[in-house]
Amino acid sequence: MPELPEVETVRRTLAPMVGAKIVSAWTSGKGLHMARKPPRAKLQQLAGATITRIHRHGKYLLIETDTSKTLLVHLGMTGRTLIVKKGAPKAKHTHVVLDLGDRELRFVDARRFGQVDVVERGKEKEHEGLAVLGPDGLFEPVSGEYLFQKSRKKQATLKAFVLDQSIVAGVGNIYASEALWRAKLRPTTRAHKLTLAKAAVLAAAIHEVFDRALTKGGTSLRDFVDATGAYGENDEYLWVYGRDGEPCPRDHTKIRRSVLQGRVTFYCPTCQTS
Ligand SMILES: [Zn+2]
């Protein structure tokens, strides 16, 4: 599932769309996340609007226009937002097409957990997905003090704590494992046990794993591609995620895989002790 670095990679590769005028919109009529269909009538009302800015909060892409309407896109598990030449063969599972004159912006999603919606600018935070989000992990970096305060009295595991989108928006399963390894924290430790010093280390670790992944164009695993269709290269730079049985990069202990709250988790039993 795309996380912050992947969605940010998409945002950056969508930049050439700024200045493009939306000519028309097409939808497949199929339901996406929660069986909700992209709103055809609202999308068609974007005709004539010019794209002015591509923004992002957590895993939500916000494509702003010179009208009061903003296009909201969430990639879900397998969503792809692609810029292609107008009239290029339509890939299977294409659900939304915006005609931009010489190009098209297409939303392709095989498993249909993604979202495409139109929201009023200035009211983005009223959208149910955005309303619950904490600060964006890249644009609004959190401090150790912030994580320390948020973790007080929290019985949740540290893994669940860093995955909580209301704490830091954009951290998903891959970067939660990576950040906890970097900070030498055990995923099963209760969040309220974080000291201020360790919270600062964790805040720095979250920033570091995002920065690192961004320089490699994100992590692809099986599905992720940027807006040009290119795969990310961060997979080979992951420290622990997907590396069970391989040596820990710090002390060569075999990385372990476990399942916490239904999510697969990777950690080193030797150096992730607190
Ligand atoms: Zn280790």
How far does the centroid of ligand 1 lie from the alpha carbon of residue 266, in Å? 11
Tokens standing for 227?
Answer: 């807006």
The stretch 243-265 carries a mean pLDDT of 96
Concerning whether 135 is annotated as a catalytic residue, the answer is no
Cα separation, 101 vs 48, in Å, equals: 11
Measured in Å, residue 247 CA sits from the centre of ligand 1 at: 8
- Which pTM value belongs to this model? 0.95
Average pLDDT for 91-98: 97
Q: Calculate how far, in angstroms, residue 246's C-alpha sits from the geometric centre of ligand 1.
A: 11
From the list 21, 90, 111, 263, the catalytic residue is 263
* pLDDT at residue number 197: 98
- Amino acid 222: pLDDT: 73
Query: Which pLDDT score, from 0 to 100, does residue 137 have?
Result: 96
Taking residues 227-237, report their average pLDDT.
92
What pLDDT shows up at residue 223? 82
Question: Of 3, 6, 104, 178, which is the active-site residue?
Answer: 3
Report pLDDT for 124.
93
236 is catalytic: no
Q: Which amino acid is at 92?
A: K
**Ligand 1 geometric centre to CA of 233 (Å):** 23
Distance 263 CA to ligand 1 centre (A): 21
Q: What tens digit of pLDDT does each residue of 108-143 get? A: 999 999 999 999 999 999 999 999 999 999 999 999
Quickly state the pLDDT bin for 66 (edges 50, 70, 90). very high
d(CA 26, CA 41): 10
Query: Could you tell me what percent of the chain has a pLDDT over 90?
Result: 97
Residue 1: pLDDT band (50, 70, 90) is: confident
Query: Could you tell me which residue, 261 or 246, shows the higher pLDDT?
Result: 246
**pLDDT tens track for 30-57:** 999 999 999 999 999 999 999 999 999 9
Return mean pLDDT, the chain.
Answer: 96
249 catalytically annotated: no
Query: Separation of 236 CA from ligand 1 center, angstroms?
Result: 18
**DSSP notation for 218-266:** ---TTT-B-TTSPBPSGGGG-SSTT-TTSBPTTT-PBPEEEEETTEEEE
pLDDT of 16: 94
Predicted confidence band of residue 188 (pLDDT cuts 50, 70, 90): very high
pLDDT of residue 88: 94
Question: Hey, which bits of the chain come out as E strands?
Answer: 24-27, 51-57, 60-65, 69-74, 79-85, 94-99, 103-109, 115-120, 256-260, 263-267
Cα 146 to averaged position of ligand 1 atoms, centre (Å): 27
263 annotated active-site: yes
Q: Is the confidence at residue 221, as pLDDT, over 90? A: no
Catalytic residue (choose from 59, 106, 182, 184): 59
CA of 267 to the centre of ligand 1 (A): 8
